[in-house]
C-alpha cells in the first residue's frame, strides 16, 4: 500500500497530515456539525446524513447527538444498534458493531494509536488497530475501548470500564483495566 489513507486503514504507520486525510476529516466534521444540530424528531435528516457519513449501517440504528468521529467511513453498524449521547468513535481503522448492540453515553471506541518509540512519534507518524464488537453487546456509559480489542457476542462491559484486552462472548467485564466479573451463586 502506498497512499497514506490505505496505510491508515491497514493499521500501518501513516502521516495524519496528508492532504487527502485532512480534507476527509474536514468533510467528516462538516457532517458531524450538521448531525449534531439535529434532534430525535429529525429522523429523515439524520438518516440522510448517516448514509453520507458512515461506511454502512443496518436498519433501525439510533445515534443520539452529539456524536464524534474522525472519518465516519470506517464505521460499520449492524441492525438496531443504539449509541447514546456523546459517544466518540475514532475510526482511523475499521470499527464494526454487531446487531442489537447498545452503547451507553460518553463511551469512547478508539482505533487510533501512537508509536511507543519516541523517534517514530517525533517523526509525526501514527497508526491504528481495528475494533470489532459482536452482536447483542451492552456497553455501559463512559466505557473506553482501546485499539485492537474484540468484544464477543452477548458480552457486557460495565460503566466506566477500560477495555484493554479482548472480551470473550457472554462475559461481563468491569474496572480499570476491565476484568471478568465472577458470577455469584444465587444461593450465597
Our CA dihedral for 17, 19, 21, 27, rounded to 10 degrees, sits at: 120
Distance CA 161, CA 34 (A): 30
**Catalytic residue IDs:** 114
Amino acid at each position: 500500500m502506498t497512499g497514506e489513507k490505505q496505510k491508515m486503514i491497514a493499521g500501518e504507520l501513516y502521516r495524519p497530515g496528508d492532504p487527502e486525510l485532512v480534507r476527509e476529516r474536514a468533510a467528516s466534521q462538516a457532517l458531524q456539525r450538521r448531525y449534531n444540530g439535529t434532534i430525535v424528531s429529525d429522523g429523515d435528516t439524520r438518516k440522510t446524513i448517516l448514509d453520507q457519513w458512515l461506511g454502512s449501517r443496518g436498519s433501525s440504528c439510533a445515534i443520539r447527538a452529539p456524536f464524534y468521529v474522525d472519518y465516519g467511513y470506517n464505521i460499520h453498524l449492524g441492525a438496531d444498534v443504539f449509541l447514546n449521547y456523546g459517544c466518540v468513535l475514532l475510526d482511523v481503522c475499521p470499527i464494526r458493531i454487531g446487531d442489537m448492540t447498545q452503547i451507553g453515553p460518553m463511551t469512547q471506541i478508539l482505533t487510533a494509536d501512537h508509536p511507543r518509540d519516541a523517534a517514530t512519534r517525533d517523526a509525526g507518524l501514527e497508526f491504528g488497530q481495528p475494533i470489532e464488537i459482536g452482536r447483542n453487546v451492552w456497553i455501559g456509559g463512559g466505557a473506553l475501548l482501546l485499539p485492537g480489542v474484540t468484544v464477543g457476542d452477548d458480552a457486557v462491559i460495565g460503566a466506566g470500564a477500560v477495555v484493554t484486552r479482548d472480551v470473550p462472548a457472554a462475559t461481563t467485564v468491569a474496572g480499570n483495566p476491565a476484568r471478568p466479573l465472577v458470577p455469584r451463586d444465587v444461593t450465597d
